[in-house]
Amino acid sequence: MSAEFDLKIHNTLADANLQLAIYTATGRLKEKRIETVADSVLPDYQDLRTQANAIKKHAIENLDHYLEEFERNVEARGGKVVYCKDGTEVSDFILALAKERGAHLIVKSKSMTTEEIDLNERLEHHGLESVETDLGEYILQLAHERPYHIVAPALHKTRYDVAEIFTRRLNVPNEIVIEKQTAIARGVLREKFLAADIGISGANFLVADSGAVVIVENEGNARLTTSAPKIHIAIAGIEKVIPRAQDVATFLKLLARSATGQALSVYTSFLSGPRREGEVDGPDEFYVVLLDNGRTKLLPDRSKRESLYCIRCGACLNTCPVYRKIGGHSFPWVYSGPIGAIITPQFMGAGHEPGLPFASSLCGACGEVCPVKIDIPKILLELRSDVKKSEAHAKQNRLERLAFRAFAWLMTHPRLYEMAGSMAAAIAPSDGRWIRSVPSPMNVGPLKAWLSERDLPPPPAKSFRQMWRQR
């Protein structure tokens, strides 16, 4: 574990207010999810999970086919699909388009994919104004912070924090009533929507057989983002494609329930192509940016590519005992919690934070709640194994590797093993506290801490082998 990861965890654990905020917010989301997926409310919940898993599995195994079908259907409706390898290619495309159209102001709806490539920072660096319009994201943009949670980005902020941020950044009176804070943000954002040249959104699903981009949200800001400006650009990871429009029904039954405990989000938009003749609203130009950014690296691995099934519901975060203690900002990348622990090393490389797959109790709660049945604990174990095998980690833990090699050698030499066991039993004191006095150099560093908390039981009078021989 890097010193930075360690420090962030310790700081979060030491902040009592933050601990309360995380625990309360995730607890509420967790309870709401349990209520809305209960047998009495949704008897086919487990069948829906199985179905969602099968659809995602099929889509990922045939990704090239469905992406091409999606592209054909978007273009048939007057839109354009742009494939981008990474964040640089995405920002180059947007910057070139903005320059050609003389665009300066961009409004954005919530998108973890754009967080992943620091899109706002890239665009602002080149003189464009890019404004987040989801309330939580807007608060964080003003505070210069990244999302704390993939569904509830400002989960760690109290209304007092928000009052302070608005006063400082928007020059408004200190306002602690949540409804009034919302009105302040709405007043600012309405002006931005009306003046924006480009709207950028994410996508929850890309439907191959109709070329539709499906967006679910609760605030209506994504609708305004995608319909008010003359240009709409949807940015999505390539794994968001699903085969058929009828598959959307399966995911919609699971997504909002798993995310916020709602039967359905307030708004579900199906967007395909620019405004057609006779339509009263919608953009003149419609683009879908399909982002790789490390995703194709997962495809050859049959087991780990399951990570691409994720529909970003956040249920695994809300139920994870580790996330609920260490929060979102302790994690080294924009994705936090169990899903962050499995996709960060795969997208960014295991060296990005080797300790990440180990930041889990492996209790299995994440796998239990995942609506698309990703076996997160299994993937964590595989990633741990990868880390152990990696050169960098091997160097860090030479002593540990040496100890395990010696142990493996001893275990494969029964006579020596037996002799070593007899010798240990002969010299060990009978009070059972002998492991604490293991001499240096074994009794150092993390090993010392481990030993200080543990006793071994007193050695038995006879070993198992001796008893076996006597019988």
Rule CB under 6 A: which residues touch ligand SF4? 258, 310-316, 339, 369-372, 374
* Minimum distance, C-beta of residue 323 to ligand SF4, in the bound complex (Å): 10
Strands 105-108 and 198-201: parallel
Residue 79 or 377 having the CB closest to ligand SF4: 377
Helix crossing, 178-195 with 135-143: angle to 10°? Answer: 90
Residue 198 or 342 having the CB closest to ligand SF4: 342
The radius of gyration of the chain from alpha carbons, rounded to an integer in Å, stands at: 27
* Minimum distance, C-beta of residue 358 to ligand SF4, in the bound complex (Å): 18
Are 332 and 146 a contacting pair, CB within 8 Å?
Answer: no
Residue 37 or 185 having the CB closest to ligand SF4: 37
* Minimum distance, C-beta of residue 240 to ligand SF4, in the bound complex (Å): 12
> What whole-number distance in Å separates Cα of residue 380 and Cα of residue 375?
9
Are 119 and 107 a contacting pair, CB within 8 Å?
Answer: no
* Minimum distance, C-beta of residue 352 to ligand SF4, in the bound complex (Å): 19
* Minimum distance, C-beta of residue 445 to ligand SF4, in the bound complex (Å): 34
Please confirm whether the linkage preceding 441 is cis (ω < 30° from 0): yes
Strand order across the beta sheet in which 267-271 lies: 241-242, 205-207, 212-217, 267-271
Could you tell me how far CA 44 lies from the centroid of its own chain?
A: 26
* Minimum distance, C-beta of residue 367 to ligand SF4, in the bound complex (Å): 8
Residue 81 or 313 having the CB closest to ligand SF4: 313
* Minimum distance, C-beta of residue 422 to ligand SF4, in the bound complex (Å): 50
* Minimum distance, C-beta of residue 49 to ligand SF4, in the bound complex (Å): 10
> What whole-number distance in Å separates Cα of residue 329 and Cα of residue 157?
12
Residue 212 or 316 having the CB closest to ligand SF4: 316
- C-alpha pair distances (Å), 172 with each of 133, 141, 154, 176, 188: 18, 17, 20, 12, 11
> What whole-number distance in Å separates Cα of residue 76 and Cα of residue 78?
6
> What whole-number distance in Å separates Cα of residue 320 and Cα of residue 360?
8
Coil, strand or helix at 215: strand
* Minimum distance, C-beta of residue 382 to ligand SF4, in the bound complex (Å): 15
> What whole-number distance in Å separates Cα of residue 84 and Cα of residue 34?
38
Other beta carbons less than 10 A from residue 110's beta carbon: 25
Residue 122 or 304 having the CB closest to ligand SF4: 304
* Minimum distance, C-beta of residue 214 to ligand SF4, in the bound complex (Å): 16
* Minimum distance, C-beta of residue 38 to ligand SF4, in the bound complex (Å): 17
Residue 237 or 273 having the CB closest to ligand SF4: 237
- C-alpha pair distances (Å), 129 with each of 104, 141, 196, 198: 6, 12, 9, 10
Residue 202 or 459 having the CB closest to ligand SF4: 202
Residue 314 or 332 having the CB closest to ligand SF4: 314
Q: Which residues contact 375 (CB under 8 A, 6 or more apart)?
A: 306, 367
Question: In this structure, which long-range contacts are made by residues 91-96, counting pairs with CB atoms below 8 Å and at least 24 apart in sequence?
Answer: 91/117, 91/119, 91/122, 91/123, 91/126, 93/289, 94/119, 94/123, 94/128, 94/198, 94/200, 94/233, 95/123, 95/126, 95/128
Residue 149 or 393 having the CB closest to ligand SF4: 149
Residue 162 or 343 having the CB closest to ligand SF4: 343
* Minimum distance, C-beta of residue 271 to ligand SF4, in the bound complex (Å): 22
Residue 103 or 150 having the CB closest to ligand SF4: 150
Could you tell me how far CA 413 lies from the centroid of its own chain?
A: 46
> What whole-number distance in Å separates Cα of residue 29 and Cα of residue 23?
10
- C-alpha pair distances (Å), 179 with each of 13, 136, 147, 184, 186: 31, 14, 22, 9, 10
Question: What's the DSSP call for residue 468?
Answer: H
